Structure 1
Amino acid sequence: MVDLKAKPFNLDDKKIKWVEDTIRDMTMDEKIGQLFINLTLRRDEKTLDELVNKYHIGGVRWQGGTLEEVYEQNRFFQEKSKIPVLIAANCEAGGNGAVGEGTFVATGAACGASKTLDTVRDMAKVGAAEAKAVGCNWSFAPVCDVVSNWRNTIVNTRGFGNDPEAVAERSLAYMDEMTKAGIACAAKHFPGDGSEERDQHLVMGCNDLSVEEWDASFGMVYKKLIDVGLPSIMVGHIAQRAYTKKFNPDIKDEDIMPATMSPELLQGLLRGQLGFNGLIVTDATHMAGLTAAADRKNAMQKVVAAGCDMILFFNDPAEDIGYVRAGIEDGTISAERLDDALHRILGLKAHLGLDEMSFPNKDMLAVVGCDEHHALARKAADESITLVKDTQHILPVTPADKKKVVLYFVESAPVSLADGPDPAKALLVKELEKAGFEVRAPKDYYEYEMEGPSKFNRFKMMEHENREEFKKNTDLVLFVISMKGYAKENNTRLTYSVSHSCEIPWFVHEVPTVAVSLNYTNHLFDVPMMKTFINAYSGSAEYIEALVEKLTGKSEFKGEANDLVWCDRWDTRL
């Protein structure tokens, strides 16, 4: 059973009495409801009222909505709920993880490349202030995964890198800033992503490190966080075979479960060996990493029985609650396990002061997207943008010697053509022209389709220019990669918009070429012919502005790449 007087709760007798009295006065429906965190997509009063008064949810996370809509939604939850709710956001890169108008400061990869802890502290500080303004009290971060596999694109940009000591240092700095702001952290994704290349949205993950390897990396990171009072941990749908077998030597491989359903990992490793006394929350339960391991009924029961205290997201509220109730009635979920989970949930709420909760005043919304926060984003961009290599010694480039620039901008396929092109392309053209360059930015296939769908658009993308004319009219090619991927494929790589596309780098031996990634750090694997390569980490205005300043020599490159950028290849270093 949980010790509410110990870390991370540190409750006094008054707060413990609130926890005990609240649990004692709950109905069974209210107790079960506390285990669930709802993903709020609809904000009409009827839907919100049903969530708090029929399903008695214990926590919330949301997607979409304007700043004011999110504020009013969260205010409704807190004012109408009998028991205050935990309100969570994914503040992994700043305030943009809480609300669309929030400030993007830096990804985990940018924080890892920065040589100063100011970058991660500023990112956390901005995220905390903007999230708190809309009533958030829980951040599903830091992403403390140790990225050892360059093919991994799930936490490639979200994690702090491949050095466990640096990951621990930045995770601790992040947690320190959130704690000072009164927001609880949920470090993720235990037992650790980044050692393989698959996406748990699509398949059960497997952390296949040995016990000794895990102890020296993920184990060290989690232990440091736990020792200073980490309040909660998000558990991934990731199996850890070595430790599962250590705690259960007779288990068959076919019976090995993802951590969310593994008593060996939750009770033996996390609670026992690492001494974690806080709250355990599952990763999203619609992910195939969980659904591939069990049917919904068994999954809902086994995550709680194994040791998870809260379940992230309903599928169907009434059905999921019914599954948990059936598990309690048939003993799959013991009375002691339910009681323990409730004490941890209410204990975290008391720790955050929700027993005496007052919702933030609306005037606090002014901090969201404020000038001061965007100044910190500019500072983060300056500190993190990384010159990976320049073996042709071309930088800096200026309009004085390379005025005519052709920009090939290779972007991911938009979810919908109605979304329009990647805004980073127009931002980059604007900054280059402001710097004095003449810029020609050929359309890509998606832009042609946005102007008018046609089966001939793909043929336009296959047309190549006369080489001598191209060389006469071009001083520099800027080849920019803005690829993004999530819950769609297991390994996001550089993808051209059509086969035999004119975007494919035919020009590297015709005119000087500089390549830039605005997201993933592993694109050299697909374009090793690029002799100058920059990881810029974001296509936001601040990062685009800083990129052009560094290209033209007005600012030095300060970021530092780790060895994963070479993708275990010799040719990427040339």
Structure 2
Amino acid sequence: MTGELNPAGSALRHIVVMGVTSCGKSTVGAAIAERLGAEFLDGDSLHPQSNIDKMASGTPLNDDDRAPWLAEIGRRFAASDAGLIIACSALKRAYRDIIRSGDPSVVFVHLHGSRELLSSRMAARPGHFMPLSLLESQLETLEELQADEKSVVVDIATPVKQIVDEAVAGLGGRQVDATRFLVDLKAAPFNLDDAAVAWVGSTIDSMSLEEKIGQLFINHNNDYSQEYLDGVLEQYHVGGMRYRPGPAAAVQEHIRYAQSKTRIPLLVASNPEMGGAGSCDDGTFVSTHLQAGSHPDKDIARQMGRVAGVETAALGCNWAFAPIVDIHYNWRNTVISTRAFGNTPEIVVERAKEYFDGISESPTVCAMKHFPGDGLDERDQHVVTSYNTFGYEEWNRTYGHVYREMIGHGVQSIMVGHIGAPDLSRHFRPGLAAEDILPATLAPELLQDLLRGELGFNGLVLTDASQMIGLTQAMKRSELVPATIAAGCDMFLFFRNPAEDFGYMLEGYKSGVITEARLQDALRRILGLKASLGLHKAARESLVPPVEALQLIGSEAHRAIAAEIADKTVTLVKDTASNLPITPRTHKRIRLYGISGGADFTRADPLAYLDVVRDELEKAGFEVHVFKTAEQRQIAGETGVNFMSVISEEATGDYAQKYDAAFVFANVKGFAQEAAIRIKWSTPMAAEIPWYATEVPTVFVSLNQPNHLIDVPMVKTAIHAHAGTPEAIRAAIEKIEGKSEFQGTFNENVFCDSFDTRL
């Protein structure tokens, strides 16, 4: 690429697609015009008849013949005040000067190809007026573009779509080159010494091709058996793994065996978004991200990170897929509603740094997520591609600010979401068509130009889970697997089918989709991250702590931290009817309703928490009457009951004589299976819907989502307890009774942009 293509930042509109015969000027020119929304003209149609007759007879045109033709092309540009692309051979500098004399803004896209390729293409065009004999004449005439000419050069030995992609990228002033930002292992976040850098290099040199390809993968271990691990490690040579949570002892032994069997130490990842919970069944649930952002005490986030680090390191994990640095702008977004620290970049930056510092006290590196940022689209990438629709400037003020701050703070890796960013992509690739907007995992302009280039990230980049439809809807699996690495990701999260995906990645390298330079850079980042953890010099038997370390998981001290945080963060969203406090003395008989989203992929009982609620209420001295839906009563063996009969029985005029108050505890999750989450009542006009809010004091307590007021605006008392843990439930009930003060805070998302939710 030469010349200054777009100094003012305005759209490029006047373009000559140039090159010798059979290079594809017309096909590519028309495709670029369609992409940019411009008019296309084939320059051959502008030749005077005398020139056409001369070429058809086999006589080359001379400069006098070409001058009026070139001047006409320049005139067409000068007369056009819209986008215009003209295909023209424009072989000599003097010819291009004639065109530019009509319009100095013209940019030249040179379609470059080998003599052999051009000959074969030309031989396949027997009906064209340019005979094969004139190809040599054109190649001899061709003068390469010079430094002062605004131009882009594209190799034509690729499919047309790729040629167009590279041409449009070049017209935007950027090159599609995933090796422009090679890793510096001595710089942050790796900070390796000479010995560690040498280990990285020598280890890569010792690998077979299959081992190199395997390092690109992070396996999802679906089986704890040794036979399963033997197969994964011996056949696919994976660089990292994540496992299905289970009992801490089983998880630790699983990791120990895996590390003992692999030639190169593994990155072992977990999802400690809430403390130790999620990494093993008996880990401590400390708080959600939102909970850690719902109190003035920023140390809550540090404690969450600290407990997460201690408990996951005790298992043998060394890589945390956290913190989450998304910003919850759209209340309808339920993917990150509880997984974001808040709805402003300031709170996200402050709490994410605290979490990072806390977990970094253990031998753990972090992968913050989900670049380029979730929280605008309401949809979930597990089931559909979603989009960050901020413009370039607004993105930089918000999400960009968060990423710059966290990169500067030392975060070691970034998980890329299957999230497209149309305005960001078009900032770096002007004219990019809507159908060519790809999720960030496949978008070099986002991974390279933005993340590596403008944000200066030197660390490791990994994809989000590759089975998510946000990625798989973009292109064929055989194409997308290597395309993620070619675009700038360093590791690929989870096989769908191990043999297939490994084969796709290997073929992608052999076919040139993944260049040798790109593969080497990815490997250096992967091994560099391992070396930054000291894995390269640790004795194999010390990579996983002894069994005694498991005593730290779910410890009394950690549960005490969780209880203290629950007490601080239970939040009173509204009490407009002054219903509180409600005590056994003032309101003895409680009608208790439990709302859940139904069973999800975890197969956990979605209403198990209700037993805890009932027990805590009874311990406090309340008389509890638990409502059961028609389905629950039928399952229990009751006959002659249906939803209409339940409504008739429940909604009677003597409701207030039977009960003194109604408590609704909602634990609605639905994560990863729905594009958006709302309360789903048991039946039409269900008896558990708070119709009774006009009859008795009614308290609605959310144990998960913060956006439920949109579905229950009629309740006058709403509490967000953040979690369905015993600690959170106990704290909420104590505050309902007035035994302790509400300390938690909330942001405006809780009112869901509706006036009635505030009443």
TM tier, smaller:
over 0.9
Q: Is the 8 A contact 1:84 1:349 kept in 2?
A: yes
Cα contact 2:589–2:661 (8 A) shared by 1? yes
The residue that corresponds to 1:433 in the other structure is 618
In 1, the alpha carbon distance for the partners of 2:196 and 2:536 equals 8
Q: Which has the higher contact order (CA 8 A, sep 6+)?
A: 1
- 2:413·2:462 contact (CA, 8 Å) conserved in 1? yes
Q: CA deviation at 1:446?
A: 5.2
Instruction: Report the Cα offset of residue 417 of structure 1.
Output: 12
**Cα displacement (A) at 1:116:** 0.6
- 2:645 and 2:498 map into 1 onto residues whose CA distance is 50
**Does residue 342 in structure 1 map to residue 523 in structure 2?**
yes
Q: Note if 1:307 corresponds to 2:488.
A: yes
Query: Any idea what the Cα deviations from partners look like across 1:423-451, whole Å, max 9, x if unmatched?
Result: 21010111111111111111235533543
Match of 1:188 in 2: 369
Q: Are 1:383 and 2:555 an aligned pair?
A: no
Instruction: Tell me whether 1:140 sits opposite 2:140 in the alignment.
Output: no
Residues 142-189 of structure 1, C-alpha deviation per residue, up to 9 Å, x if partnerless?
111001000000000111110110001111111111112121110000
- Offset from partner CA, 1:279-299 (integer Å, 9 cap, x none): 000000000000110110111
Report SS of the residue matched to 1:355: coil
Counterpart secondary structure, 2:662: strand
Please say which of residues 58-67 and 300-309 is displaced more in the overlay: 58-67
SS of the counterpart of 2:692?
coil
Tell me the SS of whatever aligns to 2:462: strand
1:290 aligns with 2:290: no
Indicate the SS of the match to 1:410. strand
Paired residues, what number?
574
- Provide the C-alpha distance between the structure 1 equivalents of 2:601 and 2:244, rounded to a whole number of angstroms: 18
Displacement of 1:54: 1.5
Name the stretch that deviates more: 270-279 or 353-362.
353-362
Instruction: Give the whole-Å Cα distance in 2 for the aligned partners of 1:401 and 1:260.
Output: 57
Residue 35 in structure 1 maps to residue 216 in structure 2: yes
Say if 1:384 and 1:560, in contact at 8 Å, map to a contact too.
yes
Asked whether 1:541 is paired with 2:722, we answer no
> Is this contact kept in 2: 1:421–1:447, CA < 8 A?
no
Q: CA deviation at 1:453?
A: 9.3
Output one character per residue of 1:75-130: Cα deviation in whole Å (capped at 9) or x when no partner.
Answer: 01111110000000010001012101101010111111122112111111111111
1:66 partnered with 2:247: yes
C-alpha deviation, 1:16, in angstroms: 0.6
1:513 corresponds to which of 698, 704, 724: 698
Name the counterpart of 1:237.
418
CA distance in 1, matches of 2:644, 2:216: 54
- Aligned runs of 1:167-178 on 2, under 5 Å? 167-178=348-359
Deviation at 1:513, TM superposition (A): 0.8
Corresponding residue for residue 210 of structure 1: 391
1:71 partner amino acid: Q
Larger Rg: 2
Residues 295-321 of structure 1: per-residue CA shift (max 9 Å, x gap): 101110110000000000001111111
> Is 1:189–1:235's contact at 8 Å kept on the other side of the alignment?
yes
Mapped partners of 2:537, 2:212: distance in 1:
20
CA distance in 2, matches of 1:460, 1:36: 56
Match of 2:715 in 1: 530
Question: 2:188 aligned with 1:3, yes or no?
Answer: no
SS in 2 for 1:96: coil
Match of 2:672 in 1: 487
**Equivalent residue for 2:737, pick from 546, 549, 552:** 552
**Residue number among 494, 500, 511 corresponding to 1:319 in the alignment:** 500
Distance change >3 Å, CA 416–CA 346, structure 1 → 2: closer
How far did 1:464 drift? 3.3
Choose 355-364 or 408-417, whichever is displaced more.
408-417
Contact 2:240 2:266 in 1 (8 A): yes
- Three-state SS of the structure 1 residue aligned to 2:347 is helix
RMSD: 1.5
Letter in 1 for 2:657: K
Partner of 1:49: 230
Write the letter of the residue equivalent to 1:354: L
Distance 1:406 1:416, change over 3 A: farther
Give 1:451's aligned residue: 636
**Would the alpha carbon gap of residues 24 and 339 (structure 1) be closer, same or farther in structure 2, given more than 3 Å must change?**
same
Distance, in Å, in 1 between the alignment partners of 2:638 and 2:282 is: 32
- How many angstroms does 1:469 deviate by? 2.5
Percent identity of equivalent pairs: 47
SS in 2 for 1:501: coil
- Closer, same or farther: CA 420–98 of 1 in aligned 2, 3 Å: closer
Q: CA deviation at 1:208?
A: 0.4
Kindly state the Cα deviation for residue 526 of structure 1 after the two structures are TM-superposed. 0.8
- One-letter code of the match for 2:355? Y
The answer (yes or no) to whether the contact 2:245–2:279 under 8 Å persists in 1 is: no
TM-score, reference length from structure 2: 0.74
Q: Does the alignment pair 1:472 with 2:657?
A: yes
Question: Residue 227 of structure 1 aligns with which residue?
Answer: 408
Matched, 1:363 2:548: yes
| Matched-pair contact (CA < 8 Å) for 1:381–1:542 | yes
Greater shift, 509-518 or 443-452, is seen at 443-452
**Displacement of 1:416:** 8.7
